[in-house]
Amino acid sequence: MTLAIFDLDGTLLSGDSDYAWGQFLVEKGLVDTQVYQEANDRFFLEYQAGTLDIHEYLAFSLAPLTQFTRAQLNELHNTFMEEKVRPMMQTKAADLLKYHKEQGHFLLMITATNQFVTQPISDALGMDHIIAPVPEIVDGYYTGKIVGVPSFQDGKVTRLNDWLAETGHSMEGSYFYSDSRNDLPLLELVTHPVAVDADDTLSKLAEERDWPHISLRN
């Protein structure tokens, strides 16, 4: 099956689910408001600039998960989906996913946002599979650590290649949709790279390389 690969934040969603989860925790009073807000803002700016230390960020973003049971976290995530994520879902993105599905393509999400945040979003969007940073769970509780390679920048290519080896899927005829300069390693790997509401760096490169640049904004 032809792979149709999608970034999540800023691509299929009109905003950033990782940043929104941090905002959600702040608004619900579940973290130290000022400290967490300032750090969340700083990491988000570093991501946009292409300078984010993914390991430092994941240590920060996964730490709150250690304070709750899985049942509590599932309840929080359900509320998060309704209050933060669903307003970021886009009709044009849903139409694009439907188009690829109708072509018989395999819908694969690859995101740098951890799997606790993104698995339910992937399910809601009807993806066939998701590759995301995997939070470690021991005895039913999140430890705040990550398992394996985070799917960020070159790590997206590493994780994808591992998945290809495991599943036997092929990159022949593949698509990848992304908004971010951070995804250049994977955009350069696929058959059909597509910029989506891209940042300035990716917009310029897409123009130089004659890549399609589309908008999914409603």
pLDDT digits (tens, 9 = 90+) for 132-145: 999 999 999 999 99
pLDDT digits (tens, 9 = 90+) for 24-72: 999 999 998 898 999 999 999 998 898 999 999 999 999 999 999 999 9
Q: What confidence score (pLDDT) does residue 218 get?
A: 78
3-state SS, residue 190: coil
pLDDT for 167 beyond 90? yes
Q: Are 105 and 171 in contact (CB under 8 A)?
A: no
Proportion of the chain above pLDDT 70, given as a percent? 100
> CA 184 to CA 86: how far, in whole Å?
27
Q: What confidence score (pLDDT) does residue 93 get?
A: 98
Mean pLDDT across 76-83: 98
Cut 0.85: pTM above it: yes
Residue 20: both structure tokens together: 């929104």
As annotated, the active-site residues are: 7, 9
